[in-house]
Structure 1
C-alpha cells in the first residue's frame, strides 16, 4: 500500500506519528512528492485515525471552516481513503 504525499503533508504526518514506531517507509526520490509505503493495513488505519484527530483538534477556524492544517489533513485522509477502500 503506497500513497504519494507533498512535502507539507509529510511534515504534518511527521508531527503526529511516534517516530519510534515505523508506520511507513518514505521514498524521497522525487522532488515533487514523497512515496509512503505502509508495512501493514493496521499501520495505514492507525495513521488515518491520527490524522482525523489532528483535523478535529486543530483543523478548523472559529467559523468551522478548514484552516491550512485542516486542508492538509483532508488531503491526507482522501489519499488514505483511496488505498484503504480498494
Structure 2
C-alpha cells in the first residue's frame, strides 16, 4: 500500500475558548498547527426565554457541540488524506 503525498500532521495540543453572555454561550476548539492554532470545531448554546439561567449547562452544551464539530472536521481531514484507510 502506498501512502498519499499529503501529510496529515497530528497535534498534541488543543485550546478551548468559551465566551458567554446572559443568553448565549459559544465554544471553539483549536488545534496547534506549525504556524499557530487552527479552528477545528465550534459550538453554541442559547437560552430561550423562560429557561432558567444556568451558566454551567450552557457551557457544557456549547463545549459538547464544539467537540462534536471537531470530530467531524478531523474525521473528514483524515479520510481525505487517507482515502483507502490509514
- Tell me if TM exceeds 0.5: no
Shorter-chain TM-score tier: 0.3 to 0.5
Q: Which has the higher contact order (CA 8 A, sep 6+)?
A: 1
Please say which structure displays the higher CA radius of gyration.
2
Using structure 1 for the length normalisation, give the TM-score: 0.34
